[in-house]
Homo-oligomer: A and B are copies of this chain.
């Protein structure tokens, strides 16, 4: 039986990429230490700053909120109910249970209060892929809720970051590449965004959540079926299995070279949205335009009928 490299007791967790065997207690210490190192290295936040942690009810975001709170950061959770049937119901339950058990405040907002419907219906009406509509809405709402905070933290882990990077590189999305970083500085009303889990794997966040007794929703969002990110994760895992350490190397190597993708002239000019005041590249921001569009459709007969049939 393998022994914990730190204390010599029986090991339960094996981190193959680091060739490290650990007991539960030392894994938790090691995990928290590495996340804190990431926070410091990328100057994500200090213990004086207020962090809004976006939670979905899944393992990564709840584990992140728990970890930051445990390490003494000033945190508050934020959950957006996207109105995705049973999935949203279950995840809201997990979020509420977590909040009560851990005594951590989690603010909750509902897409139905904003648009009168969930993200699935919205994306059908505007005929755009659900995941891109959902992403845009969440980015906006996270930022809006974070106005009195110093940073927005999300639970993106190493596997998420590497899958995104992989897709962006395969398609040479240089604009996205120039912005893919564990810490994206804010300006004016656009809040700083941080990803403290960017260098810990999905296996590690799941293990941490399990050991720390976090009850989370295991189901994937039903809209993510067939998502490219899931396909890319599989490919990256195939490579990692053959060549240990590829994920970390790929992401770290990229971050050392990321600046080559941001040419000085490429920064889009941003100005306040004429409706809501948030920074946008057009006259009216995407969120306000979406709201206008949904309201127009709801006002018309066809739209109303369509919605009533849902």
A residues with a Cβ closer than 8 A to B are 169-172, 174, 228, 231, 235, 238-239, 242-243, 246, 249-250, 253-254, 256-257, 260-261, 263
Residues in B with CB closer than 8 Å to A257 are 172, 174, 261
- Other A-B contacts than A170-B249, A172-B254, A260-B261, 5 sampled, CB-CB below 8 A, are A228-B243, A235-B235, A235-B239, A257-B261, A260-B263
* Closest Cβ neighbor of A239 among chain B residues: B235
List residues of chain B with CB within 8 A of the CB of A169. Answer: 169
Least distance between A252 CB and chain B CB atoms (Å): 8
Closest residue of chain B to A258 (Cβ to Cβ) is: B172
Once the chains bind, are A249 and B171 in contact (CB under 8 Å)?
yes
Query: Which residues of chain B are near A261, meaning CB under 8 Å?
Result: 257, 260
- Chain B residues lying within 8 Å of A256, measured Cβ to Cβ, are 172
Closest B-chain residue to A165, C-beta based? B169
Most buried by B among A238, A242, A249, A260: A260
Whole-angstrom CA separation of A29 from B261 in the bound complex: 39
A250 to B168, CA, bound (A): 10
Given the known A-B contacts A260-B260, A261-B260, are A170 and B250 also in contact in the complex, defined by CB atoms under 8 Å?
A: yes
Nearest-neighbor residue (CB-CB) of A173 within chain B: B253
Residues in B neighbouring A250, C-beta threshold 8 A = 170-172
CB-CB under 8 A from A254, the residues of chain B are: 172
Residues of B within 8 A of A238 (CB): 235, 238
* 22 A-B contact pairs sorted by A residue (CB < 8 Å): A169-B169, A170-B246, A170-B249, A170-B250, A171-B250, A171-B253, A172-B250, A172-B253, A172-B254, A172-B256, A172-B257, A174-B257, A174-B260, A228-B243, A231-B242, A235-B238, A235-B239, A238-B238, A257-B261, A260-B260, A260-B261, A260-B263
